[in-house]
Structure 1
Amino acid sequence: MPAFDPCYTLIVLAGGQGSRMGGCDKGMLTLGQQTFAELLVHRLRCSAAAFNPGYGPVLISANRNQQDYGRIGAQVCADLRPDFQGPLAGLEAALSRASPDLPAVIVPCDMPLLPDNLPAGLLRSVMADQRSVAVLHDGHRRQHLCLALWPQSALFSIRQRLDENQRSVAGWLAGQLVADVTFSEESVGALPFACNINRTSDLAQLPG
C-alpha cells in the first residue's frame, strides 16, 4: 500500500505572550541547536517540500521575532486583532493566508516532541470529510491546538467566535464536527510526546 502523504499546509502557532514563562517567546526556546519552531517545521512539514519549496507551505503565527521566524523558511502571520487575543486569533490570521485548496495541520510551538507521523494521522480524518476537524488525543485528553482541518470550512466560525469575544479553542471545537485521533503513548526522557512546555521546570526535563 502506498504511503499516505497528501500535500498540506503546516501552521505553527507561536503568537502567545509566554506569561507562565516570564513573557518569553516559546517558539524561540531551544532544544539542542534548534529552536522549538525550527524543530517542528523540519519534522512536520510536508515531505514533498524538501524537493519543491513551493509544495506544502509553512505558516507561523507570530507577533514577535518575526524576522527570526521568517529565516526558518516560513511565511509569518501576525494576529489580525490587537492585544494578544490568544491562539484562536493566531489561527484566524494563519488560515486567512492559507491556501483554500490544501488541508492544514496546526501545532503549537511549545510541543517540541510531537512525532513526525502526526500530520498523516490527523489528515486521514479530514481527507475523508472536509467538514471535520481532526484533534490529537494523547490517550488522556484532547490536545486542542494539535489539529487538522480545511481552512475555508473553519475560518468563518472562528471569525464569528472572535467577533463575539469568545476566545476559547475548546469552546470553538464544541461547535465543530470533531474526530479524535489517538496516538499511542510515547515518552522522550521524562516527558510524554504531547507535553506542553509551559514552565521552566518543563524545559529543564527536555532531553539534551
Structure 2
Amino acid sequence: MKQPLGVILAGGQATRMGGGDKGLLPLGGGTILSHVIDRLEPQVAALALNANGDPKRFKHLNLPVIPDSITGFAGPLSGVLAGLDWAASQGASHIVTAAADTPFFPCDLVPHLLQAAEQANAQIALARTPDGRHPTFGLWPTALRDDLRAALNNGLRKVVLWTDKHGGTTAHFPDDAAFFNVNTPDDLAKAETML
C-alpha cells in the first residue's frame, strides 16, 4: 500500500471551549493545530484539514480545507467522508485521520495503523489504548466512501458501529496520555504542562 494521505478532523463545534476553533488556541509557542500538523505531516504523503465555515481562517496553514459534504452536524464520520472524497480525487487508496485537538498522538501512528490493518487483513484500523478505542484516529479506505455516505444519509453517527460492520481492527498503543485531547480550558492548561 502506498503512503496514505492525512486528514486532520477539525469540524467539531468546541462547545465546551465556548465555540470557535480549538485547534487555533495557543499551545507552547504554536497552536494545538500546529502540533498536530507537525506530528502527522511527516507520516503521510499529503495533508488536508477537514473544517466547516470560512476556510480563510486557516489560510496561514497552506493546507487544503475540505468541508463536510453531509449537511447538519453529523460528527467525525462526516469529516472522514470528506477526507475520503478528497483522497479519491487525488488517486489515493487510503487516508489516516487525526483529531485537531489532540497534540501529543504518537509520531508512529501511521505505520502502526498500516501494520495492524495488514496483519488483520482489514480495510480499517483504529487506534486503541488501555482506555479503549480512539475512533478519530484511524486508517480508512477510499473504496468504502459510498457505503459511508449511504450510512450517514441513513442517520448513522457512531464511528465504531460502522467500522465494526466492515471488520475494522485496532492498532494498540500503550500510553493513554498520547491521545489526550483538549476539550476545556483546564485541559489546555494541562496540555501546557505536558509539553
Q: CA–CA distance in 1 between the matches of 2:75 and 2:109?
A: 23
Aligned partner of 1:133 in structure 2 is 124
Residues 119-173 of structure 1: per-residue CA shift (max 9 Å, x gap): 1111223356775211111122000111012222x31221111110112212212
| In structure 1, distance between residues paired with 2:93 and 2:121 | 11
Whichever residue aligns with residue 7 of structure 1, its letter is Q
Match of 2:149 among 147, 159, 162: 159
Distance 2:118 2:55 in 1: 32
Distance in 1, matches of 2:121 and 2:142, equals 10
Offset, 1:71: 2.6
Q: 2:28 corresponds to which residue?
A: 32
Q: Quick one: distance in 1 between partners of 2:168 and 2:78?
A: 20
Residues 164-203 of structure 1: pairs in structure 2 closer than 5 A: 164-185=154-175, 192-203=177-188
Q: Does 1:41 align with 2:37?
A: yes
**Structure 2: runs of 5+ lacking an equivalent:** none
Q: What is the CA distance between 1:81 and its match in structure 2?
A: 2.4
Q: Does 1:96 align with 2:72?
A: no
Give the TM-score of the pair, scaled to structure 1: 0.82
Pairwise CA RMSD = 2.2
Q: 1:14 maps to what in 2?
A: 10
Q: What's 1:123 paired with?
A: 114
**In 2 relative to 1, CA 30–102 (structure 1 residues): closer, same or farther, beyond 3 Å?**
farther
How far apart are residue 183 of structure 1 and its match? 0.9
Paired residues, number: 191
After TM superposition, what 4+ stretches of structure 1 lie above 6 angstroms from structure 2?
none
Higher RCO (CA 8 Å, separation ≥ 6 residues) = 2
Identity, in percent, stands at 26
Query: Does the alignment pair 1:74 with 2:63?
Result: yes
Q: Does 1:205 align with 2:190?
A: yes
* 3-state SS of 1:181 partner: strand
Contact 2:96/2:139 (8 A) holds in 1: yes
What CA deviation, in whole Å up to 9, does each residue of 1:43-85 have, x standing for no partner?
11245x7xxxxxx111110013522324323111011122222
Name structure 1 gaps, 5 residues minimum: 50-55, 187-191
Q: Decide which moves more: 67-76 or 127-136.
A: 127-136
After superposition, the Cα gap between the structure-2 partners of 1:109 and 1:101, relative to the gap in structure 1 and judged at 3 Å, is same
